[in-house]
């Protein structure tokens, strides 16, 4: 995988996550090495196995938060191969080809 392919993969994952959350969002790796999903001024970081929220910064109602977490987990479950590749690319960014 090249760095350009990794960027394209990240963009694809952003688009997938945005379609599940029905709002523009971006995915990245948190400092803890976990998947981080940012939307608006909020973000949710998932556990390493993508099955639950590890850290939450959310302003809003609990019901809305629960829906967001459920949508994020559904998106990752439905596209696990892409998100695993994305996390691999983050962990190995220095060894990716130009």
What are the pLDDT digits (tens) for 53-96?
999 999 999 999 999 999 999 999 999 999 999 999 999 998 98
At 98 the pLDDT is 84
At 64 the pLDDT is 95
pLDDT digits (tens, 9 = 90+) for 27-62: 999 999 999 999 999 999 999 999 999 999 999 999
Residue 41 CA: distances (Å) to CA of 50, 76, 92:
21, 21, 28
Residue 16 predicted with pLDDT over 90: yes
Sheet holding 53-57, edge to edge: 25-29, 35-39, 42-46, 53-57
Q: pTM of the entire structure? A: 0.92
């Amino acid at each position: 995988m090249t760095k350009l392919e990794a960027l394209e993969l990240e963009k694809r994952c952003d688009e997938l996550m945005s379609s599940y959350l029905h709002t523009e969002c971006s995915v990245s790796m948190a400092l803890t090495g976990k998947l981080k999903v940012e939307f608006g001024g909020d973000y949710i970081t998932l556990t390493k196995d993508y099955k639950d929220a590890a850290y939450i910064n959310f302003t809003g109602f609990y019901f809305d938060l629960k829906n967001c977490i459920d949508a994020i987990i559904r998106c990752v479950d439905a596209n696990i191969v892409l998100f695993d590749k994305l996390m691999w690319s983050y962990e190995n960014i220095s060894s990716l080809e130009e």
